[in-house]
Chains A and B, each alone.
Chain A
């Protein structure tokens, strides 16, 4: 065990910090769930790519820097410290990217990773269907192979970023003779293909952060199949593991929220002891999450695989995020409902609260995560 940064890691941090100081837009971007804001965020992805910052852990040939997970955590810490824009392509760089590294063939890596890093392809997720939510193996959308094509029919929903994105990755039933987890395939579909229609769904904040996607005899080349036909469930589980685990939710995000919460509270006199206790609890848990993720990153670096453990993390960070925002609203009191753009230090909390409510739901509800923990870590019967 050695819990200090190396000189190289410290100078890497300085390099990230000074680049971000020069390049993070001074004026906050519009919401990424508006057409204009989406394009502003796409432009930011291109700017990141010019500095080779799209995903520091990727090999250099795909636009990365070939660095390790500790350096990625350092990058994330600096990224959140600099209040840099939300990654509009997080479905791509954090979820599909690692999936392609593991399961994609060389041609697919060449084709998709660099385009993703350059912000040319912004990705949406295509998992859930109207009747396949927590029970994802109930997927009914089909991809039937005909020659060198798949013909896709069906419907996906709750597809984050799909309102404005360029591509979606998802699970489709490619073998109608099988059921449940069998016969599913992981396929990449361009959203401008003939037969695709997208219906944006306004979220709790009124903006179309997700959408329904309809597929009507959409033709996709078999080159867009990741891994083997019928192997989709296992690949999707790996992708979901990245989502629940450290990739999608690096600790930096929660540590910034926790620090902002403590600073917010310091402006108020005579907070009730229960509020004070909740504040401390939140800050300590954000710290616990960071420590856990450094340990997890070190384990992965030492060659260990992370499986159902990522469900523990998902339960932990999603509850923490929700509680931090809930405490902030209690501190703000009658001010908490204000949405005025001029007072962002106040309005960001109600906005964040709305978003944090989704945490225990997306990437597999916390109830499903608890089943996974009980069955796969504790060995309880199904």
Chain B
């Protein structure tokens, strides 16, 4: 039992953090919003250059073969930066799982895993982000994965409340190749979608808290920084508590996916449930601590709040997670208790 991250990855996280600070400022995001497609091929290639897409990719595809829990902090850092390009999605939903895919599908996509973006659509995440920038689309359901060239997809662009997201509703697939999969793989993909959203939520919530902490240190009222008032302190401490107590659950769920834990679905539900709560209170209390400034387009806070609001119900809303957790509890009553958490079946 060792619930710590490999310290060899510290420098990787630091490199990504540095990239966010220097090359991915809120001003860059605002500039990207002015483009027809905010997706920047240049930024995508920079991130590929950092090795992001190779982290969780199996060695047979020229990847580093890290498990999702080991790579989680790097993805969290990218989410903290509010990156527009769906590189976290590509890395977690496709690359981390590619070696479980049917062999013929692996052959078909293997050349696109490191450099290109492959989009994923599933009933729990039915709108595709940045489809026009993708090199392929995987449509996943309980029994199959369907691969399509983007040119063969007829779709309708739908506007999002988050200008960083360019959503497409899939209307028709004109030609495609279908591959049968078993339920286990589909469940793994669903758990990955939940854990991915949870990881992003951790990074984004932390960003909201950091922006707000800085703001309340400098904004003065009644002759002192508003951050010196207990009402403001306590509001932000509440956010810190929610973030802190989502973290371990998220990393654990990430671990369970690659470790083939029989309860990975439960772990993913718990992770997303807690991370979504952190996101909810992070946005609510951050905007409140900013006062009317938090309600403006000018302050950067909304760049990150919008993303939280946009993704919070991807791969299952809070209500659906509750129902699934409830079903688990009702059918495992005798297993619950102090020895439950790490018990192996």
Binding site for B on A (CB under 8 A): 1-6, 9, 13, 70, 76-78, 80-81, 251-253, 255-256, 258-259, 262-263, 266, 276-277, 280, 283-285, 287-292, 294-295, 297-299, 301-302, 309, 312, 315-316, 367, 369-371, 373-375, 377-382
Contacts and interface: CB of A to CB of B under 8 A. Distances in A.
Contact of B4 (A263, A298, A373): A298
Contact of A263 (B213, B238, B246, B333): B333
A227 B338 CA distance: 37
Interface in B223-238: 224-225, 227-228, 230, 232-234, 236-238
Contacts of A285: 245, 274
B304 interface: no
Given A3-B3, A3-B252, A380-B217, A78 B339 contact: yes
A287 B337 contact: no
Interface string B204-235: 00000100010011000000110110101110
A302 B5 CA distance: 10
Nearest to A252: B338
B228 A288 contact: no
Given A1-B70, A316-B241, A378-B237, A70 B1 contact: yes
Given A256-B337, A298-B4, A292 B330 contact: no
Given A3-B252, A291-B249, A258 B230 contact: no
A365 B182 CA distance: 52
Contacts of A371: 230, 233-234, 237
Contacts of A78: 338-339
A80 B259 CA distance: 29
B228 A373 contact: no
B220 to A, nearest CB: 10
Contact of A280 (B237, B251, B252, B325): B325
A288 B249 contact: yes
Q: Which of A316, A369, A380 has the most CB of B within 10 A?
A: A380
B342 interface: yes
A80 B338 CA distance: 7
Interface residues of B, number: 54
A5 B339 contact: no
B20 interface: no
Contacts of B244: 292, 309, 312, 316
Interface in B246-282: 246-249, 251-252, 255-256, 259, 270, 273-274
Contact of B2 (A1, A312, A316, A367): A1
A83 B243 CA distance: 32
Contacts of A280: 322, 325-326, 329
B233 A380 contact: yes
B8 interface: no
Given A315-B237, A370-B233, A371-B233, A3 B338 contact: no
19 contacts: A1-B3, A6-B1, A80-B337, A259-B340, A266-B333, A276-B326, A280-B326, A285-B245, A287-B270, A288-B248, A288-B274, A291-B252, A294-B248, A371-B237, A374-B232, A374-B240, A375-B233, A380-B217, A380-B228
Contacts of A5: 1, 342
B341 interface: yes
Given A81-B338, A256-B338, A287-B270, A367 B230 contact: yes
B85 interface: no
Given A80-B338, A285-B274, 16 more contacts: A2-B1, A4-B344, A6-B1, A81-B339, A259-B340, A283-B336, A284-B325, A291-B3, A298-B1, A298-B2, A316-B244, A316-B245, A370-B233, A374-B236, A378-B209, A379-B217
Q: Which of A287, A309, A373 has the most CB of B within 10 A?
A: A287
A3 B259 contact: yes
Contacts of B3: 1, 3, 291, 294-295, 297-299
A341 to B, nearest CB: 24
B6 interface: yes
Nearest to A311: B237
A273 to B, nearest CB: 9
Contacts of B70: 1
B69 interface: yes
A286 B227 CA distance: 31
* Nearest 8 CB-CB pairings of A with B: A374-B233, A259-B336, A252-B338, A370-B237, A291-B248, A298-B3, A380-B227, A373-B237
A312 B233 CA distance: 13
Interface string B302-345: 00000000000000000000100110011001001111111010
A302 B10 CA distance: 15
A336 B245 CA distance: 30
A340 to B, nearest CB: 25
A377 B240 contact: yes
A70 B4 CA distance: 13
Nearest to B254: A1
Given A4-B1, A297-B3, A374 B227 contact: yes
Interface in B1-40: 1-6
A201 to B, nearest CB: 29
B341 A287 contact: yes
A76 B339 CA distance: 9
Q: Which of A258, A298, A378 has the most CB of B within 10 A?
A: A378
Given A70-B1, A255-B340, A379-B217, A373 B325 contact: no
Contacts of A379: 213, 217
B233 A77 contact: no
Given A263-B333, A288-B274, A290-B341, A380 B4 contact: no
Nearest to B225: A381
Nearest to A255: B338
A374 B236 CA distance: 7
A331 B11 CA distance: 51
Contact of B69 (A1, A258, A297): A1
A262 B326 CA distance: 10
Contact of A289 (B227, B245, B251, B337): B245
Contacts of A81: 337-339
Contacts of B213: 378-380
Contacts of A369: 237
A118 to B, nearest CB: 27
